[in-house]
Structure 1
Amino acid sequence: MLSAVRSARRYLGYFRSISSSAMDKGYQQANVVVLPNQLADDFEAFCRSNPAPLPLLYRSQSGETSCPPLAKQADIRTDVSQYCVYEEGRLVKTVSSLQSYNDQPSAASGQQAVPLGPWSDMVCFYLGCSFGFEGKLKKAGVPVRNVEQGRNISMYRTAVHCFPAGKFSCPLVVTMRPIPAAMLDVVVEITHLNPLAHGAPVHIGDPAFLGIQDLSRPDYGDQVELQPGDVPVFWACGVTAIEAILSSRPPLAFSHSPGCMFLTDIPDTPAPLTPPSDNMEPQSAKPNPEQTPVCFQVSQNPLLYSLASQAAVSKIRQLETIIGEDPGQRGIEALFVQDELLLSCLSLSHASSIAIVTGFPTHYMHSPPDETDGPPGAIAIATMLLALGKKVTMLTDKRAVEMNQALIDEAVSTGVLKTTIPLVTYEDSGPDSALHFLCHHGDPSKPRYDHLLAIERSGRAADGNYYNMRAINIKHLVDPIDDLFIAAKDIPGISTTGIGDGGNELGMGKVKEKVKDLMPKGSLIACDVPADFAITAGVSNWGGYAVACGLYLLHTCPSHQRYMKKGLGLHRVIPQEQLQDWTANLPSVDKVTDIKHFSHLSCQDFSAFSLSS
């Protein structure tokens, strides 16, 4: 049957009917690249280094026209409906057959013919294609908009660069499919189980994150229109190989024309396939449900979703339960909102520059008046963020600069912090103060930070004052850092987190109605300033430790790491030295007690919380 379909291609050259037929029958399709033998090893290394856009199904021998592991009775010179021909890295023409590039044998008198010419020196690469999972999507009830609209898929050149190998280096190309928001988890799970059809998405949300400025102008294929409720979802694309041809400038090369794939005999099975080796057919492998990604929205403006495995999500939810223990019997569990810890950690994982603020001068008659809850958690978060390569800034009140600088210096000297971090203050000097603090030159399109995090930080109440849990006004000890969280709401690209244990902390405005109704003196003390993510904990430090551990879990999660790296690079297994570095930066009792500024903090504050639990 499939050999007959390939034969039809040889004579009809009609893409749309063939691709639709293949989708309905559930067979894998393949992108095709044909290169001179001297570039074949480099290109194979390039594919291995970038498995999401270039999942290698089969590499032929030099001059081989068939591909037995993928298809019977196939001839790659004729079984694609349209080919592109490149000379010195330039597309020179498209053709319906490559037979004119056959070798011309020499036939010297009395001797056997010897193959000469280009084809004997050419190596064919067959790469997985996302059309291989469209049949599964359709069966699951997911609308396949490009098929509905009778169009080729939209393909875009991105600003993301593939890992280079030998002579090959080029930007990542992606496909875009509009997916109803309510069906994202279904789509992620289905495509995750098809790694040789590019696997799970590499980005979900605003195309600007990939450097794509206009979805209506694809670089390859046709525009596919989003319907109400759709989210743009992007998969790595095999057309990346065409960009590799253009950049490496081989003297002669061929590829399929974008959208005109080679049809294989391999069913689109529900089980994932392991990458092939030594020209062997890919084999089925039993899926690991714990590694199936789950999709979460982490930002609305700009729109951004993230992925993490079921295993990582489960562990972070366990952390959230642990920190919800209520040693002070305040009834803090009433403020709990599920997955605020997870969403904050995902947002922080995508962030590159984070400002952290702490400081609650609840002991207003002491010097210093700040309680010990907050700073240890802030240092734990900062330590992990630095280990993950993020830029971290500490933000404090003017009156507390000396104390916080001493805390940072001691954390560095004891090895808790690898390096010192900037310590800054904020002063309200006019209506645009917050904007100029948060953004370069006050330009909302150029934020200095992409995440603000407050842990056990005094939060402004509805009447403009700041109250401790005893309802005593401590406004005279607090700088108006709340203004930054308020301003961040109107600046695209800045997310916020608040960590608290009573409801009067900065960011707890997200749950203020619960605080007013359920917490002692809540109608007066409730913070009025919300954060995007409000993490409640029995002790705020526990919330800080949980964020540090949650970040660790995400960065050791293969599904999340693949998403963060856009499926590029060989680092699917985290190098041992990097893993050890991250592990060494997890919070611990010893780190808290080693810093003398924390010496009066009871170890019981940490002992109820550990990553292993």
Structure 2
Amino acid sequence: MLTAVRAARCSLWYFRGISTSTTHSGYQQANVIILPKHLANDFEAFCRRNPAPLQLLYRGQSGETSCLPLARHADIRTDISQYCVYEKGRLVKTVSSLQSYTDQPRTAPEQQAVHRSHQWSSDMVCFYLGCSFGFEGSLKTAGVPVRNVEQGRNVSMYRTAVPCIPSGAFSCPLVVTMRPVPAAMLDAAVEVTSLNPMAHGAPVHIGEPALLGIQDLSRPDYGEQVELQPGDVTVFWACGVTAIEAILSSKPPLAFSHSPGCMFLTDIPDSSSSPLTPESTNTPHDRPDLELTPRCFLVSHNPLMYSLASHRAVARIRELEMTIGDDPGQRGIRVLFTQDELLRSCLALSHSFSVAITTGFPTHYMHSPPDETDGPPGAIAMATMLLSLGKQVTMVTDRRALEMNQAIIDEAVETGVLKHAIPLVTFEDSGPDSALHFLCHHGDPTKPRYDHLVAIERSGRAADGNYYNMRGVNIKHLVDPIDNLFIAAKGIPGIITTGIGDGGNELGMGKLKEKVKNLMPNGNLIACDVPADYAITAGVSNWGGYAVACGLYLLHTCPSHQRYLKKGLGEEPTTRQEQLQDCTANLPSVDKVTHKHV
């Protein structure tokens, strides 16, 4: 047990003035917040609603200075090297002990000098919250460098633009810690930290800091700047210093906290995800399900963004990816297969807010309409699921096919396949900036209208500028230059593109054009030259659309992904029954797709 260490610290001030980030103890550390009793219930509810930053390890009784479930022989008034004192939401000073704030008999002059509201009496309640320093030892054991420890610095902490879920008097932005991690070790860092929910668990964001509203890494709001090394990626964990922001915003007459970086040391080994006392209801008591342990995937280069999904969800989406690769047309489509294109596209779509979908392949150029039935059903299936997840969806089509596609959308709404009508638009190339103005408000690349473009069974431009069906017939006269949107999107940060195809001549399949040229019939002629970020191949393109819809459903029901998507905020990431029923109802089915007439 740690009692000897605690005794040494208390008697010799062993850790006073030393950041516990740089002193690996082998034991779980805790953030500490001390509030007036009348705010205690609101703050506990605030913690429950924001479990990643405010993992509640223990709530003390009014006036209690010990915390037996976490540590024996503890005295919260003296066991932290430095405390912060707040009055009416302002930090007024830091002190090395809180004993002077304890109720004691006082002379009349002393009573006048110290107002009653500035005493720590039975009116004060102490909260112990998880701390990310508790997983640093596990990171080192897994071979992941801990840069702040290497550099002898406190960890960098930043106030984000992400609001916590409010409760009563408490409302504040999320605070995060940042630890640089080599890209090759991201999976290890994610897995190790996810297994310690007492220390904030898995990261809540990996990649571009600006996506959290952090504009300058060199100026942390708390702690010290930690330098990145070549090949490092910025990884952000929810931070218990969020509670200090809650104090500042709620403005209690008197409150205390640890000084950021100077933590309370418990008797719980830092590798533990369970408390010392199983009977305690104030600490996590269930070990994580290993199938729900998250994995890390790169989903965007510009801006840099990674996402998380559980082992279980990843395995199921990979099964989907293999299933849709069945090749009824015997084209040899499996040679174009690249693992995890479906998974990464679904992850990116799950993070999206506004999606534009385009389809249409006029292969029957002698008929009216010339379009094949592959494509529109898959597009509607994706649109339906995206709408159920709260995304904005727009359909983009050729001018000649506007009436036909409007009829498809209208029927989908009438039959209940679509919740409501979605915008149907066309694109005309009227100048060099046409695509930019179509994709971005006022042509401003910092203000995109869409953050994801999806093409499913959409004619793709070949290297010679023409559009070919699989027989090598040029159908350019029937195709609008929607490819230009995908080309322009490459230069606009924040827009991701996906192409779904079954032959290699579809928009987005340019990512695979060398394989198409070498391995597909007529490949040298028909291969699409316009790439997408993700190229999903399927035996029938509609199957690819159905797989995207199903993949989005799997991510929506994946606790690991939902926690990451919500930055660890809100109630524990379980899908409400009505949401689950809505998403299930919007999964593609045979009955639905056979109702669509194209």
Normalising by structure 1, we get a TM-score of: 0.93
Mean Cα displacement is larger for which, 175-184 or 431-440? Answer: 431-440
**Other-structure match for 2:151:** 149
**Other-structure match for 1:603:** none
Q: Secondary structure, in 3 states, of the residue corresponding to 1:429? A: coil
Code of the aligned partner of 1:64 = E
Q: Report if the CA contact (8 A) 2:8-2:14 is conserved.
A: yes
Q: Report if the CA contact (8 A) 1:195-1:273 is conserved.
A: no
Deviation digits for residues 432-481 of structure 1, max 9, x if unmatched?
11111111111111111100000000000000000000100000000000
**Other-structure match for 1:74:** 74
**Other-structure match for 1:48:** 48
**Other-structure match for 1:39:** 39
User: 1:20 Cα deviation (Å)?
Assistant: 5.9
Code of the aligned partner of 1:102 = T
Q: Secondary structure, in 3 states, of the residue corresponding to 1:294? A: strand
Code of the aligned partner of 1:3 = T
Q: Report if the CA contact (8 A) 1:62-1:122 is conserved.
A: yes
**Other-structure match for 2:238:** 236
Within 1, Cα distance between the matches of 2:189 and 2:127?
A: 28
Q: Report if the CA contact (8 A) 1:26-1:136 is conserved.
A: no
Pair 1:512 & 2:513 matched = yes
Pair 1:347 & 2:356 matched = no
User: 1:105 Cα deviation (Å)?
Assistant: 3.8
**Other-structure match for 2:358:** 357
**Other-structure match for 2:177:** 175
**Other-structure match for 1:543:** 544
Q: Report if the CA contact (8 A) 2:468-2:475 is conserved.
A: yes
**Other-structure match for 1:378:** 379
Within 1, Cα distance between the matches of 2:527 and 2:281?
A: 65
User: 1:9 Cα deviation (Å)?
Assistant: 3.9
Q: Report if the CA contact (8 A) 2:57-2:284 is conserved.
A: no
Within 2, Cα distance between the matches of 1:478 and 1:340?
A: 26
Mean Cα displacement is larger for which, 370-379 or 566-575? Answer: 566-575
Q: Secondary structure, in 3 states, of the residue corresponding to 1:393? A: strand
Within 2, Cα distance between the matches of 1:546 and 1:130?
A: 37
Pair 1:404 & 2:408 matched = no
- Distance verdict in 2 for CA 1:166–1:465, change over 3 Å: same
Deviation digits for residues 391-448 of structure 1, max 9, x if unmatched?
0000000000000001101100110000000001001111111111111111111111
**Other-structure match for 2:254:** 252
- Distance verdict in 2 for CA 1:559–1:105, change over 3 Å: same
**Other-structure match for 1:588:** 589
Within 2, Cα distance between the matches of 1:452 and 1:542?
A: 18
Deviation digits for residues 190-214 of structure 1, max 9, x if unmatched?
0000001000000000011111111
User: 1:120 Cα deviation (Å)?
Assistant: 1.8
- Distance verdict in 2 for CA 1:481–1:72, change over 3 Å: same
Q: Report if the CA contact (8 A) 2:486-2:497 is conserved.
A: yes
Code of the aligned partner of 2:405 = N
Within 1, Cα distance between the matches of 2:276 and 2:339?
A: 38
**Other-structure match for 1:391:** 392
Instruction: For 1:111-130, list aligned pairs within 5 A.
Output: 117-130=119-132
User: 1:278 Cα deviation (Å)?
Assistant: 8.9
User: 1:106 Cα deviation (Å)?
Assistant: 7.7
User: 1:6 Cα deviation (Å)?
Assistant: 3.0
**Other-structure match for 1:97:** 97
Instruction: For 1:129-528, list aligned pairs within 5 A.
Output: 129-269=131-271, 272-273=273-274, 280=281, 282=283, 284-528=285-529
Percent sequence identity is 78
Q: Give runs of ≥4 in structure 1 deviating > 6 Å.
A: 274-278
Code of the aligned partner of 1:255 = S
Q: Secondary structure, in 3 states, of the residue corresponding to 2:192? A: helix
User: 1:592 Cα deviation (Å)?
Assistant: 1.1
Within 2, Cα distance between the matches of 1:233 and 1:286?
A: 24
User: 1:507 Cα deviation (Å)?
Assistant: 0.3
User: 1:104 Cα deviation (Å)?
Assistant: 1.8
Within 2, Cα distance between the matches of 1:406 and 1:52?
A: 46
**Other-structure match for 2:113:** none
**Other-structure match for 1:607:** none
Within 2, Cα distance between the matches of 1:127 and 1:330?
A: 58
Code of the aligned partner of 2:320 = L
- Distance verdict in 2 for CA 1:73–1:569, change over 3 Å: same
**Other-structure match for 1:608:** none
Q: Report if the CA contact (8 A) 1:60-1:279 is conserved.
A: no
Q: Secondary structure, in 3 states, of the residue corresponding to 2:449? A: coil
User: 1:4 Cα deviation (Å)?
Assistant: 3.8
Code of the aligned partner of 1:77 = R
Within 2, Cα distance between the matches of 1:498 and 1:276?
A: 53
Q: Secondary structure, in 3 states, of the residue corresponding to 1:19? A: coil
Within 2, Cα distance between the matches of 1:277 and 1:575?
A: 28
Within 2, Cα distance between the matches of 1:468 and 1:15?
A: 74
Instruction: For 1:2-13, list aligned pairs within 5 A.
Output: 2-10=2-10, 11-12=12-13
Q: Secondary structure, in 3 states, of the residue corresponding to 1:410? A: helix
Code of the aligned partner of 2:38 = Q
Within 1, Cα distance between the matches of 2:141 and 2:415?
A: 58
User: 1:72 Cα deviation (Å)?
Assistant: 1.2
Q: Secondary structure, in 3 states, of the residue corresponding to 2:20? A: helix
User: 1:19 Cα deviation (Å)?
Assistant: 2.2
- Distance verdict in 2 for CA 1:40–1:281, change over 3 Å: closer
User: 1:516 Cα deviation (Å)?
Assistant: 0.4
Normalising by structure 2, we get a TM-score of: 0.96
Q: Report if the CA contact (8 A) 1:323-1:542 is conserved.
A: yes
Instruction: For 1:557-596, list aligned pairs within 5 A.
Output: 557-595=558-596
Deviation digits for residues 479-498 of structure 1, max 9, x if unmatched?
00001101111110000000
Within 2, Cα distance between the matches of 1:219 and 1:21?
A: 19
- Distance verdict in 2 for CA 1:363–1:565, change over 3 Å: same
**Other-structure match for 1:601:** none
User: 1:165 Cα deviation (Å)?
Assistant: 1.0
Q: Report if the CA contact (8 A) 1:80-1:256 is conserved.
A: yes
- Distance verdict in 2 for CA 1:127–1:170, change over 3 Å: same
Code of the aligned partner of 1:183 = M
Code of the aligned partner of 1:364 = Y
Within 1, Cα distance between the matches of 2:63 and 2:320?
A: 57
Within 2, Cα distance between the matches of 1:229 and 1:284?
A: 37
User: 1:354 Cα deviation (Å)?
Assistant: 0.5
User: 1:18 Cα deviation (Å)?
Assistant: 6.8
- Distance verdict in 2 for CA 1:372–1:276, change over 3 Å: farther
* Root-mean-square deviation over aligned CA pairs: 1.9
- Distance verdict in 2 for CA 1:516–1:359, change over 3 Å: same
Code of the aligned partner of 1:153 = V
- Distance verdict in 2 for CA 1:283–1:172, change over 3 Å: closer
Deviation digits for residues 310-355 of structure 1, max 9, x if unmatched?
0000000000010000000000001000000001000101110000
Q: Report if the CA contact (8 A) 2:37-2:125 is conserved.
A: yes
> What are the ranges of 5 or more consecutive residues in structure 2 without an aligned counterpart?
108-115
User: 1:572 Cα deviation (Å)?
Assistant: 1.8
Q: Report if the CA contact (8 A) 1:13-1:82 is conserved.
A: no
Within 2, Cα distance between the matches of 1:161 and 1:22?
A: 31
Within 2, Cα distance between the matches of 1:406 and 1:21?
A: 65
> What are the ranges of 5 or more consecutive residues in structure 1 without an aligned counterpart?
108-114, 599-613
Q: Report if the CA contact (8 A) 2:459-2:505 is conserved.
A: yes
Within 1, Cα distance between the matches of 2:132 and 2:227?
A: 18
Q: Report if the CA contact (8 A) 1:9-1:80 is conserved.
A: no
Within 2, Cα distance between the matches of 1:63 and 1:129?
A: 23
Code of the aligned partner of 1:249 = K
Code of the aligned partner of 1:212 = I
Q: Report if the CA contact (8 A) 2:69-2:276 is conserved.
A: no
